[in-house]
Amino acid sequence: MKRIAINGSNLSKRSFLAKAFSAMTGMDYIVNTPYSIIAYQYKLPVDISKCQWPDSFVYCFGAFIERILREKKLEDKFISDGGVFIELSWIKCRYSHIELIYERSMIETVEKVVMDYASKEYDTIFHIDSKEPSDAIDLCLKQLYNHHSLNHHIIDCANDEDALHQMLEHLQVKPKLSAKFALLKYCDEFLIEGAERSLSKKKFNYFES
């Protein structure tokens, strides 16, 4: 079985590489459920930055449940864009200085549940390194791996093609498509998406505090 989580703080870079790696290996690609959908389902604020503590907690658990449902449909082989780590790192960084015992214990409970799932369900975790010492999300993710003793692999993403080759070499699988053509397959799509994001107000940015 090859259940892979490709993780990292850079949403665009991570998703681009995860989708290209899916094309290279032929494995199904699982994307996260957008905040807007979860917000509608649980009646949360339209803008994620407006979430107060209870809403943030509901969002984190709601996204976790949605991810599990998607991954369980493809139990044997998949590439999970961000895995179950994204919302957990978001809430931990958003409330990193919270001192209230009850709220802190709730975050710790979510962490235990999420990380227990990750340790049992993911065969491989690839982390796309941001190389930014001030990147709080990147640091939080690495701390989660180490604290919970998760086997993970840091991927140098200075060059997209090299990053894909690093992941392929670790898995030791024969590619169905070269890294070059896998990147070209999604390059135009991500350029368009990037342009659209730059023109938007970025209401649904996962890492907005």
| Sequence ranges of the domains in the chain | 2-199
Which pLDDT does position 75 carry in this prediction?
Answer: 78
* Percent composition of the chain: helix, strand, coil (DSSP 3-state, to 5): 60, 10, 30
Which pLDDT does position 169 carry in this prediction?
Answer: 92
Chain centre to alpha carbon of residue 190 = 17
Give the Cα-Cα-Cα angle 68, 75, 87 (nearest 5 degrees): 25
Which pLDDT does position 98 carry in this prediction?
Answer: 80
d(CA 12, CA 34): 14
Q: Which residue positions in the chain have pLDDT lower than 70?
A: 1, 188-209
pTM: 0.85
Which pLDDT does position 203 carry in this prediction?
Answer: 44
**Average pLDDT value for the chain:** 87
Which pLDDT does position 103 carry in this prediction?
Answer: 87
CATH (residue range 2-199): 3.40.50.300
pLDDT in tens, 38-61: 999 999 999 999 999 999 999 999
